[in-house]
Amino acid sequence: MRERLILLPGWAIGPGALEPLRDALLERAPHLMVEIEPLPALEQSGAWLDELDARLPRDSWLAGWSLGGMLAAQLAARRGDACRGLIGLCSNLSFRQRDDWPQAMSQEVFTAFHEACRLDPALTLKRFSLLVAQGARDARTLARQLQVTQLATEPRVLDAGLRLLDVLDIRAAVEGFAGPQLYLFAGRDALVPAGTAEALLEWLPDLETSLFPEASHGLPLECPEAVADVILDFMREGEDV
């Protein structure tokens, strides 16, 4: 049976931004099934995980970018053996800081961003694309690519995604999922501190991590070939893809 890999984008990131990574994966492993699935377009943030569980095929690998990776972790923990493995791309265990998880965005910065999105969603999305691309070798081009692939999204759906980012803490899910897990981080990430990789290994030494020192939060779009190589090497551990 062919292996299947599901790719989930992040908050306000269109599925098109993951197409270069999908293409790089298929070029290297043409018999791998790679599907890009958008995040839910629901105003009720509490229903997002259920919607993904109902829509996404079981017995597949789950990979997600930022918020997509956090939701993938929750879904993997829920599915257990029905998930082949979990891959996080620039995904933190908690997007905002907590007393016992300081390697994240400060609550003050996150709250200000959330309020700005409520007041002016269009301007905030443009600012967000710049933040995702910040630190990239060609940040302007990467930001433009992100803006071109952004989908028209209702403000209430954007707000629901930010409410999820505010409350999600996936540590229990990550600890509870027994399958293989890989987490990729970027050294110049403006949204997820690079120190998260070290903090993650200190917390759960059995996890696998990889740090791209010169990359931004836009890692999957900025370095699709290198990311594809790491993902496929990870998936091939133990058995061929």
Catalytic position from the list 60, 66, 91, 94: 66
Residue 77 and residue 103 in contact, taking contact as beta carbons nearer than 8 Å: no
The DSSP code for 143 is H
Pairing of strands 4-8, 208-212: unpaired
Q: Please report how many Cα atoms fall inside a 13 Å half-sphere around the Cα of residue 69, on the Cβ side.
A: 22
Q: Is 189 a catalytic residue?
A: yes
CB atoms within 10 A of CB 58: 12
Assigned token pair, 204? 């759960």
Assigned token pair, 79? 């599915």
67-79 helix and 48-55 helix, angle to the nearest 10 degrees = 70
Catalytic position from the list 45, 94, 114, 217: 217
Q: Is 53 a catalytic residue?
A: no
Q: Which of 100, 69, 98, 103 is nearest to 181 (CA)?
A: 69
Q: Is 31 a catalytic residue?
A: no
Q: Mind telling me the catalytic residues?
A: 66, 189, 217
